[in-house]
Amino acid sequence: MNRNSYAAMLEAVQAFHDKHDFRRTGGEELTYRVALMAEELGEISECVTKGRPVEELAEETADLFILLMGTAIAADFDLNQAFWDKMDKLMKRQSRMVDGRIRVSDFRQK
């Protein structure tokens, strides 16, 4: 299988889940997975704010990506399809400057 394909990445993450029996041992419990993702975001933030080498940022970002893919496995949804559905929505949105930075949103009135 092509290592550059989403299918290959998903298969690798599924193999990791199967190897450690995540489904039966709590590794696919969604609240736990959210906590792990928050932890990874903290590690990404630390890489950026402390000026760590880009290789460390890449590794922490990969950890988060693996967790996201695993969450799709755990919750039984197609992340690939969700990605493309969301991109279709994002491409239709307008952007504006907010506090000196570009922001893309649907800018709903509250």
Q: Tens of pLDDT along 52-77?
A: 999 999 999 999 999 999 999 999 99
| Residue 97 located in a structural domain | no
Is this prediction's pTM over 0.85? yes
Question: Does 92 map to a domain?
Answer: no
The CATH number of residue 48's host domain is 1.10.287.1080
Residue 70 maps to a domain:
yes
Interaxial angle between packed helices 30-49 and 54-75, expressed in degrees from 0 to 180 and rounded to the nearest 10: 170
Q: Is residue 91 part of a domain?
A: no
CA 88 to chain centre: 18
**Domain housing 33:** 6-79
21 found inside a domain: yes
Q: Give residue 109's pLDDT.
A: 65
